[in-house]
Structure 1
Amino acid sequence: MDVAIVAMDGVADLGLTAVLETFALADRLRHRLVAPPSPWRVHTVSTGSSIQSGNGYTVPTVALGDLQFHSDAAAVPGVLIVPAVQIGDPQELIAHVSGVGSRPILDWIGRAHSAGVHIAGACAGTFFLAEAGVLDGLPATTSWWLGPAFRKRYTAVDLDESLTVCRTESVVTAGAYLAHVDLALSLIHTASPALAEKTARFLVTGSARAQADHIVPEVMAQGNSLLAGFEHWVRRNIGEQFRISTAAHELGITERSLQRITQAELGMSPKDFVHDIRIAHAAHLLRTTSLSLESIASRVGYLNAGTLRNLVRRRRGMSVAELRAIPNVW
């Protein structure tokens, strides 16, 4: 199978090499299987013969025009992958993706999708897929800190930035930088689940933890001054049982306005955002102190440990014991 990795000036070095190395390792491990899949032929492609990575390295590439999208063309790729570009500011990223310089890439993504090529993107690369329209009407994920900007611009996409990988029949999206590995493993899995599992073991990865475990609520809120104010207010009052209406009143807005803001920016209600802030702090206390669950629940504003336990299960999909046991291997 031919795999085309779309690189452009400023491509994130870690994202690009993560995809390249994961496919290369899978190819080296194929012969350890009783019934190995066919090898992958991986092409790094761009609008010219080379690009400059985000860290300034020159990467040789195949020109886009050398890979055609016709059913009878031998060089048509089975998978097209768009890794991240090294742009951290959401508005700068949107300006780049929607700019004239990105039009050849967007057109190429659209033509590939129309030709039945499987499309994949990770981190900031998902913005190119959305801008090209291939995510319209589909579920998708992206880097959790880019979620608010993505949701605001691409309203036709069903975004869930808590996911590490989101698969549909024709498109796969993945989250932040290291999720490029999960993206590549997901694509390998379509050809051989056994090879994907073996490759993951060699990489010491593939635990399928959700991005939700890593989301920092204050970063999610920083793009909107009212939302940031709400987040700061919750942290100042985190040990109290308060009403959302009280927070809205002290911020000088109506509860309905606060509801609209959190839904538009974060895709959740103010109440769920408060739960996420409290659970994030509870997780920190679970991992860094010997406090009892009852004491931690009280410190983050819940009347009893049972409430915290149920919310962790509902919001994080795990037990409190599993949350506490998540190790920092470094």
Structure 2
Amino acid sequence: MDVAVFAVNGVADFGLSAVLEAFSTANGVRDQIENPPEPWRVRVVALGDSVESGRGHVIPTTPLADFQRTVDLVIVPAVQVLQADALVELVSDPSSRPVLDRIAGLSRAGASLAAACTGTFFLAESGVLDGLCATTSWWLGPTFRRRYPRVAVEEGRALCRAGRVTTAGAALLHLDLALSLIAARSPALAELTSRYMAAGSSRTQSEYAIPEVLARGDSLVATFERWVRDHMADQFQITAAARSLGITARSLQRATRAEIGMSPRDFVDEIRLQRATQLLRTTPLTVEAVATKVGYLNAGTLRSLFRRRRGRTIAEVRASMLSWE
């Protein structure tokens, strides 16, 4: 399989390296499994013969015009741009049009496509995600949703596959993206590769998302988020919250759905779960005490929410201390 890793100026060093290392490792250990797939032929391609990474490194590339073989898979790693407005400015700038046209053309020619983190905006801007579900970095979800209304964005997901297109979330998920592409040809090789790289497969970004960051793009949602934090321990109704903000519950529902892709009630649960996670990891409080502090009448409700929305038990949350502490 011929893989083109499409790099542009400002490509994120980690994202590019993670993708290249994953495929290199898979090629290196493929003879250790039965019936291995053919090796991947990976090239870093660009419109010219080099790009400058986000950290200022000059990366030699194969000009796409010279890449004569049929491209089976195109991967677009992230660019070193974290702010949503700057990212939109980058992908919509006329200088990006040749890149977008190439992506769209390769898609029409039958290539599979993949992107992670901020790289997903190049796919969306080129139009190849229209009508499909996709994910992106969790903090970029609101901007992605507004700019690309024809894409069903699910930023809570770590990976999203839709036909021939695979998208992944924030920076470390470049590795998960590469492993998922390897698994599409050989699950056994992907599992072996992940062991060599000491990497696991993440199923959700939700536990990393910070609600107040998600709410920044909309003044009403941000005001609602602050109101919830001020009333964290109260058992309030959404109608009461809306009334306090001087709006109807239906207006609040429309605002949160349009901006962050979830209902007011689900957003409240996310805010409470984030605070509960912090308390569980940083204090000796009992589960019952934590539940009370974040507005639930009993620990059973909190336990149920963690299982349903995080896929983890409270014991697992409490035991999963940050490795760098």
- TM-score if structure 2 supplies the norm length? 0.96
Unaligned segments of structure 2, at least 5 residues: none
Q: CA deviation at 1:111?
A: 1.1
Match of 1:18 in 2: 18
Q: CA deviation at 1:35?
A: 2.3
1:191 pairs with 2:185 = yes
Unaligned segments of structure 1, at least 5 residues: 69-74
Q: Which range moves more in the overlay, 313-322 or 84-93?
A: 313-322
TM-superposition CA deviations, 1:27-61 (whole Å, max 9, x none): 11112223222111111111111111111110111
Q: Distance in 2 between matches of 1:28 and 1:113?
A: 29
Q: Distance in 2 between matches of 1:203 and 1:60?
A: 25
Q: CA deviation at 1:210?
A: 1.2
Q: Distance in 2 between matches of 1:52 and 1:228?
A: 37
Match of 1:4 in 2: 4
Q: Distance in 2 between matches of 1:22 and 1:79?
A: 15
Match of 1:274 in 2: 268
Q: Distance in 2 between matches of 1:252 and 1:66?
A: 61
TM-superposition CA deviations, 1:221-247 (whole Å, max 9, x none): 112222111111111110111122222
TM-superposition CA deviations, 1:157-191 (whole Å, max 9, x none): 11111111111230100000010000110111112
Q: Distance in 2 between matches of 1:327 and 1:77?
A: 43
Q: Distance in 2 between matches of 1:29 and 1:212?
A: 33
1:81 pairs with 2:68 = no
Match of 2:63 in 1: 63
Q: CA deviation at 1:116?
A: 1.1
Q: Distance in 2 between matches of 1:173 and 1:101?
A: 24
Q: Distance in 2 between matches of 1:77 and 1:159?
A: 27
Q: CA deviation at 1:91?
A: 1.5
Q: Secondary structure at the match of 1:222?
A: helix
Match of 1:121 in 2: 115
Match of 2:32 in 1: 32
Q: Distance in 2 between matches of 1:192 and 1:4?
A: 19
Contact 2:159 2:203 (C-alpha < 8 Å) held by counterparts: no
Q: Secondary structure at the match of 1:48?
A: coil
Q: Distance in 1 between matches of 2:175 and 2:231?
A: 39
Q: CA deviation at 1:89?
A: 1.1
Q: Distance in 1 between matches of 2:266 and 2:207?
A: 15
Q: Which range moves more in the overlay, 229-238 or 269-278?
A: 229-238
Which of these residues, 201, 224, 227, is aligned with residue 230 of structure 1? Answer: 224
Q: Which range moves more in the overlay, 306-315 or 259-268?
A: 306-315
Q: Distance in 1 between matches of 2:118 and 2:95?
A: 16
Which of these residues, 302, 307, 310, is aligned with residue 304 of structure 2? Answer: 310
Aligned structure 1 segments of 4 or more residues deviating by more than 3 angstroms:
none
1:255 pairs with 2:233 = no
1:173 pairs with 2:167 = yes
Q: Distance in 1 between matches of 2:59 and 2:185?
A: 28
Match of 2:201 in 1: 207
Q: CA deviation at 1:152?
A: 0.9
Q: Which range moves more in the overlay, 299-308 or 26-35?
A: 26-35
Q: Distance in 1 between matches of 2:128 and 2:314?
A: 38
Q: CA deviation at 1:207?
A: 3.4
Match of 1:100 in 2: 94
Counterpart amino acid of 2:75?
I
Q: CA deviation at 1:195?
A: 1.0
Q: Distance in 2 between matches of 1:284 and 1:199?
A: 33
Percent sequence identity over aligned pairs: 56
Match of 1:72 in 2: none
Which of these residues, 137, 140, 150, is aligned with residue 144 of structure 2? Answer: 150
Q: CA RMSD in A?
A: 1.3
TM-superposition CA deviations, 1:113-167 (whole Å, max 9, x none): 1111110000011111111111111111110000000011111111111111111
Q: Secondary structure at the match of 2:3?
A: strand
- Pairs aligned (count): 324
